[in-house]
Chain A
């Protein structure tokens, strides 16, 4: 597969995997490894104060696990509803994890987790000026996409459908329009993917990568599902590069007519 470049960094895998909601740390580790992904997403949350031993604290043990796995980390601002919250979280993430990459979420609606696109553009502007490499979680709105690029984003992450919903590509035409409008910008479909076939479809449409979490973590077998998604994403990308045939109305014999025996 061809390599993907995100903010001047080359990655081999086009599968970005979330680290939440797995049955156990061991299943998370195995899922990440079998997926062969290069990048995992991580959140920032309150550290537990009630332990005296650091290794027992959830954040410290989780960070040890991520470092042991040895993949690149993309911190997120999940759960932030304001520009200030998102910007403060990004600064904390940069210091904590030693990366200027940030998956920027500014949520506008607590039920659908629809992005607040106005806050998103403003936070992206502030963070880009502060030296961050912003991966904005956005919609398929072309005007918003253009504004995000204008304020300095070099990658866009449109949703397929609401976070954690597993509804798949809810607006294929809008995704196609986005791909066509920004042919040279890395576009990562983020959120809403439920099945490997949906991830493959996004990749066949020419998207550069897929980011997902729940579809793997909450499946019956996260490790096997991570492998299934890995193969689907690779397959979809290979198909896109190979240029899929156009649909044809009606049937067209694939076996030649010439040389057909006269037997009846």
Chain B
């Protein structure tokens, strides 16, 4: 089965991180990304090829102390 784990939710596979963000409507959003626990900078998302089972975190600034 080809799936991704995105922010803890199951999603169909996308080819790259850039494509995934576009599909989620987050292409222009203020977000940072990590792939399998490692930071992926914005200018590295095109080259970040995704594989089935990958865990992606898409984070935003939120309330904090």
Distance, CA A82 to CA B59, complexed state (A): 18
- Chain B residue contacts of A88, Cβ below 8 A: 34, 37-39
Q: A76 near B65 (CB under 8 angstroms)? A: yes
- Identify which of A19, A49, A53, A58 contacts B64 (C-beta below 8 A): A19
Interface residue SS majority, chain A: mixed
Q: B59 near A44 (CB under 8 angstroms)? A: yes
Given contacts A44-B61, A45-B60, A58-B62, contact A92 B28 (CB under 8 A): no
Distance, CA A54 to CA B29, complexed state (A): 7
| Range of interface residues on A (Cβ < 8 Å) | 35 or more
Number of interface residues of B (CB under 8 A): 28
Given contacts A59-B31, A84-B37, A92-B39, contact A49 B61 (CB under 8 A): no
Q: Let me know if B57 is at the binding interface, CB within 8 A.
A: yes
- Chain B residue contacts of A57, Cβ below 8 A: 29, 60
Q: Let me know if A47 is at the binding interface, CB within 8 A.
A: yes
3 tightest A-B contacts by CB? A59-B60, A43-B64, A18-B65
Q: Hey, which bits of chain B sit against chain A, CB under 8 A?
A: 6-9, 24-26, 28-34, 37-39, 41-42, 57-65
Q: Hey, which bits of chain A sit against chain B, CB under 8 A?
A: 18-22, 28, 41-47, 49, 51-54, 57-60, 62-63, 66, 73, 75-76, 78, 84-85, 88-89, 91-93, 95-97, 163-164, 212-214
